Amino acid sequence: MTRSEWDPENLPDLSGRSYLVTGATRGLGYFACEQLAAAGAHVLLTGRNPHSLSAAKAAVKRSIPDAAVETLLLDTSNMGSVRAAAATARARGRLDGLLLNAGVVHPPKQRETVGGHELVFATNVLGHFALAGELLKPLAAARGRMVWVGSMSTSLWRHLPTDPELREGYTPWKAYVQSKAATTALALEADKMLRAHGVPVESLVAHPGYSTSGRTRGVRGVNEPSRLTRFVDNLQAPITQSKEQGAWALVRALVDPHAEGGSMYGPALVARGAPRRATPARATRRGGLGTDLWRACETATHVKWPFERARRAAS
Ligand SMILES: NC(=O)c1ccc[n+]([C@@H]2O[C@H](COP(=O)([O-])OP(=O)(O)OC[C@H]3O[C@@H](n4cnc5c(N)ncnc54)[C@H](OP(=O)(O)O)[C@@H]3O)[C@@H](O)[C@H]2O)c1
């Protein structure tokens, strides 16, 4: 397969590779797991609800009977859960890639986590920062990759994470958009830091365009949209795609051997289409944003990425 050709429905053979996906119980995370498993990868499905995890695992198995899938409880909004899951994942061995996908789009009324952080920032950003740091050594040992999930909303709304916990001027949408600007800036910053420390792990960012459940095939226990959702989502058909198609860009960023650290992937027509190289919103590349966020994440999570130990693990 050449650099420009990529068939998301015919992935390279991933036998012997192992990937961990957050938010694997539905949506893009679930379909990414299906696609990875169908290509022969071992997939660790993670999620915060044991029943949803069992349903997702059963669904992958119905679709790919010989799939190598395991489940692991992981609530990205809870640092204790992140540390416990990372310890279990480390004990399970080889890790080629991390798909940092879990996300809250429409936050509940409860705005704070048990740890006292703004819920959207904690779920979408802090949990993933901590998880990637906790799993850096096994990723480095496998010369692996991490993919952070951004959003095209960061090009449409300029909500930068300069006040990441939104102590001033909270709105749910602002919380969401700035969390996605933060994942993009952190993905780029992580790649710079990994290169600077000589750690052979690549960090990329991907976005799924506009992918809706009502445009996605039904999967028992995973994707069961109401008739009203199907109707409303179908009205937007020209500018949307299924979550299965939305997962293509995430999976390409994770497994395309030609994809490079520090790059971004998204649908060819921005909101929909085949997975292609994309450009992160200009504001997310602003000088200093990534370093400021990095410090804020270290302070909030008490996780410092073990660059030196990761470099030694790879040698
Ligand atoms: N769909 C789009 O058009 C779109 C566009 C841009 C970006 N994105 C991003 O893509 C990612 C996935 O979106 P989606 O459309 O697949 O959303 P979704 O269908 O709502 O699925 C979200 C997934 O994240 C999980 N999750 C939420 N909070 C969690 C937590 N605290 N701990 C662990 N897992 C948690 C959910 O688990 P539960 O089942 O337990 O709730 C679910 O598996 C998100 O990061 C989102 O921001 C999506």
Residues whose CB falls within 8 Å of the CB of residue 223, separated by 6 or more in sequence, listed in order: 26, 27, 30, 213, 216, 217, 243
User: What is the rounded average pLDDT of the residues 277-301?
Assistant: 95
| 176: annotated active-site residue | yes
Atom of ligand 1 nearest to the CA of 28: 16
Secondary structure element (H or E) that encloses residue 212, with its range: strand 211-212
pLDDT tens digits along 67-109: 999 999 999 999 999 999 999 999 998 999 999 999 998 888 8
Alpha-carbon torsion angle 307, 309, 311, 315, nearest 10: 180
Distance 23 CA to ligand 1 centre (A): 6
Instruction: Please give the pLDDT value at position 300.
Output: 97
Domains of the chain, first to last: 18-314 (3.40.50.720)
Distance 245 CA to ligand 1 centre (A): 15
Instruction: Please give the pLDDT value at position 110.
Output: 87
Q: Whose CA is nearest to atom 25 of ligand 1?
A: 23
In this predicted structure, the answer to whether residue 205 has a pLDDT above a threshold of 70 is yes
The pLDDT mean for the chain works out to 96
Instruction: Please give the pLDDT value at position 2.
Output: 54
Q: Whose CA is nearest to atom 44 of ligand 1?
A: 103
pTM of the model: 0.97
**Helices H, strands E: what count in the chain?**
12, 10
Instruction: Please give the pLDDT value at position 186.
Output: 98
Catalytic residue selected from 19, 30, 170, 176: 176
Atom of ligand 1 nearest to the CA of 24: 43
In this predicted structure, the answer to whether residue 185 has a pLDDT above a threshold of 90 is yes
Residues with CB under 6 A from ligand 1: 22-23, 25-29, 47-49, 52, 74-77, 101-105, 123-124, 149, 151, 207-208, 210-211, 243, 246
In this predicted structure, the answer to whether residue 61 has a pLDDT above a threshold of 80 is yes
